[in-house]
Structure 1
């Protein structure tokens, strides 16, 4: 029978030890990466977390005879599981080291292997936390949801945070299931995804029929409820558009090794101007037929605000009633007069070529845009530099500000991977709600790999969480306009040069997540913890 074979498989995993146990954990973690973008194969997460349950079940035997042995065995399995997951999900980071191979290729193992190895400690903690409240019954499913939910939240916040491919993204790719983000956000989705995916583990390990089938049945009901909620939430009719706004997003698709080379200045400007004024339909013959033109992150190999010629070229392109919103690096002289601070910024440029507003990036990419101060001296001594060609790297802005542009609602701006942080797109001093999210980015570092698609999926989820439309301009793709329900109204795929014309969808009423943040997530964690502790107490373990 199938149940008998499942039981044999479960017992084999539970009783595994040594290198076989480590290899099983690593392979199971790697399988989970198939549930992430661009694959979105949710059953892969089920297989992976069912094995995770059985590995933690076996931690008692694997650690027998040693003080804290079960905890150490669980943490070890968690580390190998997390290493396999992050290695399979983040291998594409290696592409960035090959853009300037003569400078960075030697450091590729640090990104491709070193980063997953470091991130794996969060999953080691998650498995350990789960084992601390583990019991033999079906409630151990919630123990894993508690442990991994807390671990993923910590991964998204500690050491500046890196919530890339949080397990909740397994529910965040299809239109109907992703609507639950409006209630519980990414972290709540992570707890929910772990509980649903791990539940079938009891089919092969519970002693009684009720304990065997009820968790899997409850998980199925939960999945149906999540999908049904999404189906009811998403209206059948298209989102209404903001009156008087016609957007044009320019996607230049510049190779990364050319983008920051000052020698390519003229060619880059000519490409931007030509693409921006391209006719796309009888109704849109060029930039004169739009109200707002949007260019991607760090669009120039020079400082736009100091380059009168470039500003004059932009003024010649723009009609007086058209506004350009563009990514650009900018410099600011230090008060003490010993050089400049450089910022990764977004400029709002009026039709006369004047810069009317600026947003500076707050959440910089460690090692990509700056070297952490704790390691700066030693890393530079080893010859390691940040990827961007800015003296000393970028400086982070101290406050997140709303961006204002004529004719648009207040803008919650995010540059590059700022858009992967739930709840972080709001201004620090927000006295009124934003009306849209703007994400400018440059994913050309990573070529045609899963990386740009993962980035896009995570930015898309911010629209659902906040109930705001998302406008995204990417150098090499994916550029898009997305409504507050996560529906993609129009997009340009990876490695396509062109322009995208679209209206701006109206915002949705503030979501539960927008109003209360992670409150429901913390309640989920508390309930999982209390249920696990109660089950442990009843079982007398």
Structure 2
């Protein structure tokens, strides 16, 4: 467990990735001496519990923004969730245990098994691939470290590479007295992390679409308070330049950016809490703010009406043009359990378990990833909040977009969550070869180029605006064509090499 806690320090915001590799090397040492399968499973589970227990320390913060459950329950939920997620490292360590008698085979087997179990974590029970091990290899804003290999590996295989790097350190140190050449293995992760980056998109023409990206720094306690709706709109509007100063721009606001209902046909009480109790009037003031040739993309909530009553809601992105017309909409497809809906709601509600988001209307999922053609404002793929953490699920492969827009509300996530969220968004940009623009309520908002570098950003806990032109997309990467099949292919290759090592050099 101590090794797992040490490994967690490699994730953002600390980024102490050598400690992660050292900790995994320590797990390999312990695994070699595990006497039984049950001991190997326990070893992996304790390591995973420490890893997730520390790296997900932001989760209890979400419990402080709702009144349905006591805040102390957040720590129980965080430790319980960490224990469940720890089952995946436990399975990886258990599966690799069979190769323990041959060091090289053990390292290869653990790297392959870790890749597969992280892929399983990405979709089992709707999936939670937060903080894949490969995220520790993402460098600082101006670089990307060994994560530059993502187009040829994918996130899950990059996690396997992190295990392989740690295994090289294990082999190098354990072979010190046997052969001085093993020492060269110690340098491999260092070279991979600090090798100068090839900037594939440098010098390429930008998409040409100017952007106005706003971070209003609206506190979570004010975001859903009807008394603050007008003030919140004014904070967002304050950072939008006059129409003549930002002609042709796409204006980007965060998740929960619009408190007004912009669509007609809802029951009147829902309009009464918003601007002027009139959706047409709300659209008109947005049109005045934009001017004739700009377009707003903002997080919003759409209601679903059945038989004249509100039956559900959609967490959506709404596109509003300079005439006040609703040009397009995207509904979030991958909803957050307990954030936007309660699984097994009748049972869990009876036990006093509610969701974090205020209100009792369940959110409904949208149809899934899609590319929306906005004409002069480019072809955009949309992802709301944590949808960006799912490798291979962020683009419509049949209709490639020019860029991705990822509005988010990270005000739930404490101090550690936002930088971890940003690191995973950078991984999606590298994998897909697409720029990503993130507008968040409290930070960290950023413009990420197609190589994963942060071009511009607004720090956590501040208000600001980013102005510029959308970076160019790279040609479709190998991962963009194959998706997670690519990572699984690497996992199979690692396991095959492990079998070869077992046969070639049995102990």
Is this a same-fold pair by TM over 0.5?
A: yes
Match of 1:260 among 187, 211, 224: 224
Using a 3 Å threshold, how does the CA distance of structure 1 residues 57 and 288 change in structure 2: closer, same or farther?
A: closer
Aligned counterparts of 2:55 and 2:160: Cα–Cα separation in 1 = 19
1:443 to 386, 396, 410: 410
Partner in structure 1 of residue 325 of structure 2: 354
Matches within 5 A, 1:30-429: 30-60=5-35, 70-100=36-66, 103-174=69-140, 175=143, 176-206=145-175, 209-210=178-179, 214=182, 217-218=184-185, 220-221=187-188, 224=191, 228=195, 231-234=197-200, 237-243=202-208, 245-277=209-241, 288-289=246-247, 291-306=249-264, 307-334=279-306, 339-372=310-343, 375-427=344-396
Structure 1: distance between partners of 2:18 and 2:246: 49
Q: CA deviation at 1:315?
A: 1.6
Matches within 5 A, 1:454-493: 454-493=420-459
Q: In the alignment, is the contact (CA less than 8 A) between 1:29 and 1:85 conserved in 2?
A: yes
Corresponding residue pairs, total = 490
Q: Given that residues 481 and 491 in structure 1 are in contact (C-alpha distance below 8 angstroms), is that contact kept between their aligned partners in structure 2? A: yes
Cα offsets for 1:165-216 (capped at 9, x unmatched): 1101121234242211121121121111110122222345459724x853x6
1:282 maps to: none
3-state SS, counterpart of residue 442 of structure 1? coil
What is the alpha-carbon distance in structure 2 between the residues aligned to residue 339 and residue 85 of structure 1? 42
Structure 2 distance, partners of 1:202, 1:95, is: 41
Structure of higher RCO (CA pairs closer than 8 Å, 6+ residues apart):
2
The offset of 1:75, in angstroms, is 0.4
User: In the alignment, which residue of structure 1 is the partner of 2:267?
Assistant: none
Question: Shift of the alpha carbon at 1:483?
Answer: 1.3
Distance 1:302 1:103, change over 3 A: farther
**Secondary structure in 2 matching 1:440:** coil
Contact 1:195 1:219 (8 Å CA) reproduced: no
CA drift at 1:400: 2.2
Structure 2: tracts of 5 or more residues without a match = 265-278
Q: Is the 8 A contact 1:276 1:287 kept in 2?
A: no
Which residue does 2:3 correspond to in 1?
28
Question: Is 297-306 or 153-162 further displaced after alignment?
Answer: 297-306
* Alpha-carbon separation, structure 1, partners of 2:103 and 2:419: 39
SS at 2:407 equivalent: strand
Distance 1:391 1:401 in 2: 28
Give 1:144 shift.
1.5
Q: CA deviation at 1:407?
A: 1.6
Moved more, 402-411 or 508-517: 402-411
Query: TM-score, normalized by length of structure 1?
Result: 0.85
Supply the distance in 2 between the matched residues of 1:247 and 1:540 (Cα, whole angstroms). 60
Q: Judge conservation of contact 1:357–1:404 (CA < 8 Å) in 2.
A: no
> Do the aligned partners of residues 74 and 406 (structure 1) sit closer, same or farther apart at CA in structure 2, a change above 3 Å counting?
same
SS in 2 for 1:407: helix
Residues 32 and 414 of structure 1: is their aligned pair in 2 closer, same or farther, counting only changes over 3 Å?
same
Question: 2:483 & 2:294 partners in 1: Cα distance?
Answer: 36
Q: Which string of whole-angstrom CA distances, capped at 9 and with x for unpartnered residues, describes residues 204-261 of structure 1?
A: 5459724x853x6346346535754x623546x4553223x21101111111111011
Which position in structure 1 is the counterpart of 2:273?
none
Deviation at 1:444, TM superposition (A): 0.9
Q: Distance in 1 between matches of 2:504 and 2:43?
A: 27
Q: Structure 1 residues 132 and 367, CA, compared in 2 at 3 Å: closer, same or farther?
A: farther
Are the aligned partners of 2:330 and 2:382 in contact in 1 as well (CA < 8 Å)? yes
Trace 1:493-508 onto structure 2 (pairs within 5 A): 493-508=459-474
Instruction: Tell me the alpha carbon deviations over residues 417-443 of structure 1, each in whole angstroms, 9 at most, x when there is no partner.
Output: 01111121112xx53311101100000
Distance 1:234 1:38, change over 3 A: farther
Note the residue ranges of structure 1 that are not aligned, 5 or more in a row.
1-25, 61-69, 279-284
Which of 430-439 and 27-36 deviates more? 430-439
Structure 1 residues 207 and 476: CA distance shift in structure 2, 3 A: closer
Q: CA RMSD in A?
A: 2.3
Moved more, 300-309 or 92-101: 300-309
Kindly indicate whether the alpha-carbon contact (under 8 Å) linking 2:260 and 2:282 is maintained by their aligned counterparts in 1: no
Classify 1:342/1:45 alpha carbon distance in 2 versus 1 (closer, same or farther; 3 Å).
same
